Structure 1
Amino acid sequence: MDELTSAMGALFCQREGVGDQGAAPSSWQRGPDGGFVATDFGSEEDECGAYEAAQEEETADSAAPMGVPYREEEPLFASASKWFESLVYGGEERLRRETDDDDTSQLRSLSVRELRQIISEAGLSHADCLERRDLELRAVQAFAPKRETSEVEIASYRCHVVGASDPELVVVVFHGYLAPAAELLPLAGALARRTYEMGCKTKFVLPQSPGNSWFNLNISSYILAVVQGEAEKARVVRSTPQGVPEMRAKVNAFLAAVRHMFRLQDNSRICLAGFSQGAMAALDVALDADMTVAGVVVISGFVMSVERWADRLRNKHKGLRVLQLHGLQDKIIPFYTASWLSDLLKSNGANSMFIPHSAGHEFGPPHVFSSLLSFLSSLT
């Protein structure tokens, strides 16, 4: 990872300042976690000033941490677990569930003793439930279907699987460069539970790539581009890295197996998501596929094969829904490069939303989680 960091940093960080910041939503609403959530997916957006103005209104004593910092000594999302769990188990929205008003009223009509019995029979603890509302919230979790994480093999990929047993949406999540798929499990687990509470039954599939990378990264080509200037940088973003064609074939076969496993007729109920190199893989596979996917989530991604991507967007997948997330402080794939992808998507017919955030090469602050939830729930 150090080699990748230094090479990418050398390639892109010569430029002073952040540079072009790309587009940001003009409409923001405060989400249930206290952060700001973008609205009106797919609408025309203003510059990043809209986001920054919203951020200035946030209070300094927010209960949730403002970022999930990356550290070499721990998995990328390990430090996210605590606030993911707080999102899962706390807040005023926890009574939302896939039942009608009669079921909710019936839950609230139960005695404290009956609520405790339901919780205990589900194998959960009520020791920390100090008020009746706490018991009701915990009982909702008891009613929810089990979401135990399992490991399965799908078309030669070893996968972590978590979420609803009868999903309306399947989200395939591609891990980052030299990273284990398991580091994304806290995020996938939290999203699975929260989407269920919002009325969207979602399954998350996290495949592990061979050798922990989706395709080869020729680090020397990035270093060479620094020396040779803008023309060489342009060549790099137009090129297709070694191993990408093979990845396309393997992952398309994998998606066919996913459709068969979950009895899906086409890709319209599949969302592809990824972080860093995984984001590049997710978007590339989505554009290479014959059938358009429900949506794509690009977290701290970069561009490649730009001419092919533009052509596939214009002629095969016009209107593809894309959520792009990128940190202002990203030192591995600097923030100004995010506008290259944002511009490519917009100018070639994608229905895309670009959301910047204040963190670095990582998932980002809690409001990013809320925006991701909104995007996923809008796909069903």
Structure 2
Amino acid sequence: MAETNRPNLLVILLHGVGSSGDNLAPLGEEWAGTLGDAVFISPDAPEPSSFGAGYQWFSVAGVTPENRGARIAAARPGFDALINGIIADNGFAGRLDRVALVGFSQGTIMALDAIANGRFGVGAVVGFSGRLSSPEPLSRSTKMPVFLVHGTADDVIPSWESEQAADTLAKHGFDVETSIEPGLGHTISGAGAGRAVEFLAKVFGYEAL
């Protein structure tokens, strides 16, 4: 009955390996002032971390560039079940154009895989400090907006990974913007978070609010 109270945007925040949903929840609290009628969900990844703290989307124990793609593919069922559940529970089934995936590190890897593989036709993706490691073939998009943020001093995932991801996604039809932050490590800066929420506000029509 209360359609007027229905949120107009769902933002799903995807944490990095060894972390938890609580780690990214403050980002949603910060962005709520700009994306006023959005609902923010920051879930835990499905698996306990291989290193004994937090959670993971897939194990990075012994991970290599050669086996990473297979691990991502193996993580898809658990990821999809979790994300589809969140979408359904919050009333966004059939409204994927009003859903944004926002990832950090391994969360970015899974968010980019979700769109590059063609499984989730969401309205936008923001990725901090990540990479595109999805196994081929990649799906084509009709200009889905993607914003990638990365620091040049990241010693976990180098910033060229986001630049390479942007190039690959653009070749497959995605509308990609990047923000490379000089001297920033493997983290989310206040400036990067600010640019990301400005991107989401523009994509989802909140600029005039």
For Structure 1 versus Structure 2, the TM-score category normalised by the shorter chain is 0.7 to 0.9
Matching residue within 187, 199, 213 for 2:27:
187
Report deviation, 1:372: 1.1
Report deviation, 1:319: 1.2
1:272/1:297 contact within 8 Å kept: yes
Tell me the distance in 2 between the aligned counterparts of 1:373 and 1:337: 22
Which of the pair has more CA radius of gyration?
A: 1
Distance 1:333 1:190, change over 3 A: same
- Residue 133 of structure 2 corresponds to which residue in structure 1? 304
Tell me the distance in 2 between the aligned counterparts of 1:339 and 1:319: 18
- Residue 58 of structure 2 corresponds to which residue in structure 1? 215
The TM-score normalised by the length of structure 1 is 0.47
Tell me the distance in 2 between the aligned counterparts of 1:346 and 1:263: 27
3-state SS, counterpart of residue 377 of structure 1: helix
Unmatched tracts of structure 2, length 5 or more: 49-54, 205-209
Q: Which has the higher helix share?
A: 1
3-state SS, counterpart of residue 207 of structure 1: coil
CA-to-aligned-CA distance 1:93-140 (integer Å, 9 cap, x gap): xxxxxxxxxxxxxxxxxxxxxxxxxxxxxxxxxxxxxxxxxxxxxxxx
Report deviation, 1:348: 1.4
Unmatched tracts of structure 1, length 5 or more: 1-164, 223-232
Tell me the distance in 1 between the aligned counterparts of 2:10 and 2:84: 16
Report deviation, 1:264: 4.8
Report deviation, 1:336: 2.2
CA-to-aligned-CA distance 1:314-336 (integer Å, 9 cap, x gap): 2xx33111000001110000122
**Residues 1-380 of structure 1 aligned to structure 2 (within 5 Å):** 166-196=6-36, 201-210=37-46, 211=48, 212-217=55-60, 219-222=61-64, 233=65, 235-236=66-67, 239-241=69-71, 243-258=74-89, 261-262=90-91, 264-288=93-117, 290=119, 292-308=121-137, 311-312=138-139, 314=140, 317-358=141-182, 359-364=184-189, 366-380=190-204
Letter in 2 for 1:213: Q
3-state SS, counterpart of residue 34 of structure 2: helix
Identity %: 24
- Residue 149 of structure 1 corresponds to which residue in structure 2? none
Tell me the distance in 2 between the aligned counterparts of 1:288 and 1:306: 8
Report deviation, 1:252: 4.7
Report deviation, 1:289: 5.1
Tell me the distance in 2 between the aligned counterparts of 1:301 and 1:354: 12
Letter in 2 for 1:257: A
Report deviation, 1:362: 0.3
Distance 1:221 1:188, change over 3 A: closer
2:57/2:79 contact within 8 Å kept: no
The TM-score normalised by the length of structure 2 is 0.81
Count of residues paired in the alignment? 191
Letter in 2 for 1:220: G
CA-to-aligned-CA distance 1:28-51 (integer Å, 9 cap, x gap): xxxxxxxxxxxxxxxxxxxxxxxx
Distance 1:179 1:306, change over 3 A: same
1:327/1:335 contact within 8 Å kept: yes
- Residue 33 of structure 1 corresponds to which residue in structure 2? none
Report deviation, 1:240: 2.2
Distance 1:290 1:362, change over 3 A: closer
RMSD value, Cα: 2.2
